[in-house]
Amino acid sequence: MIQHMLLTSWSLLSIVFAHPQPEKKGCENPYQDEEIFSALAGTYSLINTTTFRDGKEIPNKGTPYGEHPVGLITYSSSGWMSATITATEPEVRPNLTFPFQPDDSDADWALVGKHSLGYAGPYQVSRELPCPNTTYGQLFHGPLAVANVPSWQGTLQRRNYSVHSTIEGKLLRIGSDRGGGNTAELWWRKVD
């Protein structure tokens, strides 16, 4: 099964990367994807997530990640990424172990799945926003090779990014459109 998923992902990759990238219009000094990959490369720890519905901020309580989520996102300089986010509230984090134990309830495991997100695969620079660079632009995560949400397998997930240098280090802002008027803004701090 895993082997089949990886082969499917590789065949999708060959389709995505076989086509020439759109011309970078209006950029005086267009950045190469590799320059952007190098600027983003590293591991980042989640420091804040804000969710919006129809442009209005909604409280984190009751969202899939809860009030105090934890997460890591990693970008490699060779064009691969991985992201994991999970809620930390005890009421949505039953005391389970891995592998699954015979006396574990499906409801407990469903609760963990409902409040966690994990995916990985290649990433690529989108040219839909003008002049992506090492400070801001848009990425496609995918086609995803691994995803705990089955419908995400093999998909492209669009993410806007901006990089900020602060006294506390490098911060990465990721914006995502979740459909149905739902958007999110996630802030990450570089840890390596």
Q: Where in the chain are the domains?
A: 2-16+32-190
| Average predicted confidence (pLDDT) for the chain | 87
Residue 15 has pLDDT above 60, yes or no: no
Higher pLDDT among residues 1 and 95, named by residue: 95
Beta-bridged to residue 187, according to DSSP, are 48, 173
The pLDDT assigned to 59 comes to 85
What number is the average pLDDT over the span 165-188? 93
CB 143 within 8 A of CB 7: no
- Tell me 51's DSSP state: E
Q: What is the pLDDT of residues 73-100, one digit of tens each?
A: 999 999 999 999 999 999 999 999 999 8
Give the range among 10-14, 22-26, 178-182 with minimum mean pLDDT: 10-14
CB 91 within 8 A of CB 62: no
pLDDT above 90: percentage of residues in the chain: 71
Residue 8 has pLDDT above 70, yes or no: no
The pLDDT assigned to 26 comes to 60
CB 5 within 8 A of CB 153: yes
By CB neighbour count within 10 A (0-12 exposed, 13-18 middle, 19+ buried), where does 165 fall? exposed
**To which H or E segment does residue 15 belong?**
helix 2-18
The pLDDT assigned to 30 comes to 83
- Tell me 22's DSSP state: P
Peptide bond into 94 cis (omega under 30): no
Distance CA 124, CA 142 (A): 8
Give the range among 13-27, 106-120, 176-190 with minimum mean pLDDT: 13-27
Q: What is the pLDDT of residues 147-164, one digit of tens each?
A: 999 999 999 999 999 999
Distance CA 191, CA 45 (A): 6
Question: Whole-prediction pTM value?
Answer: 0.83
**CATH of span 2-16+32-190:** 2.40.128
